[in-house]
């Protein structure tokens, strides 16, 4: 066997030995608390009506354009990711505005090219999307 092969074999044996020792040390704590911690479930499953389900807070009213922009739009429209026009870049928005604001709003609501429908804000109303567009155009 070559020197390289001997080295790799010793390395593999050392790795297996180290892993065995780590597992043995971890399993050595046989207290009831340690055992309970090791076998505790990592999640819970509830049947409908069995336990209350925590849900995200439902907006109490329409969100402002800057709030929608900062939460859902900023990732792409501040960096230009996927060809998104940057907020505040009048030259990038000019050809889009030339098609008319109705077309711009339709693209934002229904998705266009790389932009998903409503820019991933699936719980945004159409008015909130329009407010986000107005906010981007005002920057």
Q: What angle do CA 50, 56, 58 make, to 5 degrees?
A: 115
Give the up-direction half-sphere exposure of residue 91: CA atoms within 13 A in the CB hemisphere: 1
Domains and CATH numbers, the chain: 63-138 (1.10.760.10)
> Could you tell me the pTM of the whole model?
0.57
Collect all residues with Cβ–Cβ distance below 8 Å to 83 and sequence separation of at least 6.
Answer: 113, 114
* Average pLDDT by stretches of 10, the chain with 139 residues: 82 80 64 87 77 63 90 90 89 91 92 89 92 91
pLDDT at 55: 62
């Amino acid at each position: 066997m070559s020197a390289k092969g001997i080295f790799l074999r010793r390395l593999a044996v050392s790795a297996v030995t180290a892993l065995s020792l780590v597992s043995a040390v971890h399993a050595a704590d046989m207290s009831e608390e340690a055992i309970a911690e090791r076998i505790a479930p990592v999640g819970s499953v509830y049947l409908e009506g069995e336990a209350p389900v925590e849900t995200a807070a439902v907006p109490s009213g329409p969100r402002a354009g800057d709030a929608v922009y900062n939460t859902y739009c900023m990732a792409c429209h501040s960096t230009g990711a996927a060809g998104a026009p940057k907020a505040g870049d009048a030259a990038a928005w000019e050809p889009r505005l030339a098609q008319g604001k109705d077309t711009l709003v339709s693209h934002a609501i229904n998705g266009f090219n790389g932009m998903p429908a409503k820019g991933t804000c699936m719980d945004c109303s159409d008015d909130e999307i329009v407010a986000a567009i107005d906010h981007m155009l005002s920057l």
